[in-house]
Amino acid sequence: MPTYAQMREVPPLGVSNDAEYGTGKTAAIPDDIKRLLDPGQSTDPDPGPIQLLWVYDPVENVVHIAHNEGRHPAYRITHKDHHPEITHESALRGFAFKIKGGWRIVDRASKEIDDPYIVRAVVSALEGKPNSQPEDHPRYHGLPHA
């Protein structure tokens, strides 16, 4: 039975014997893709929770953040439990996931958030800037914000 190294030197069906198959002379992977795929770049786990729950309150113009990291499974927080007093019809609830280089912010149905203002508000709350005064949400009709 041939070894793995010997099997790598055999060209697959449809490839001629004079091809440079198995010699390592294949097309180079672009550096930006290699950085994303290279697990050897950093093996340290990201600090903190990976999945967070968020709620945007349009009345107070505030984003509330919670997570279940280190919490007993019987006491896990769901969107039903996370700030149930926010009942405005324009309130948004969703998840934020830590990814390499930033955050993936989605709603409860795992759909991307289309409103860039909401995305900026959630990201600023996730990055630890919840005490900063949020900018006014652009209103397209109605009275000006008092």
Extents of the domains making up the chain: 4-37, 51-126
Predicted local confidence at residue 55, as pLDDT: 95
Where helices occur in 24-127 by DSSP H, the ranges are: 31-37, 116-126
Predicted local confidence at residue 92, as pLDDT: 94
Predicted local confidence at residue 128, as pLDDT: 81
Four-point Cα dihedral 38, 39, 43, 44, nearest 10: 70
The span from the CA of 103 to the CA of 127, in Å, is: 10
The values of phi and psi at residue 25, to 5°, are: -95, 55
Predicted local confidence at residue 63, as pLDDT: 92
**Cβ density class 53-91: b for 16+ within 10 Å, e for less:** bbbbbeeeeebbbbbeeeeeeeeeeeeeebbeebeeeee
Q: Which residues contact 12 (CB under 8 A, 6 or more apart)?
A: 21
41, two tokens:
């770049």
Low-confidence stretches of the chain (pLDDT < 50) are 19, 21, 131-132
Predicted local confidence at residue 102, as pLDDT: 83
Percent of the chain with pLDDT over 90: 37
Predicted local confidence at residue 21, as pLDDT: 47
Predicted local confidence at residue 71, as pLDDT: 87
92, two tokens:
């948004």
The values of phi and psi at residue 7, to 5°, are: -65, -30
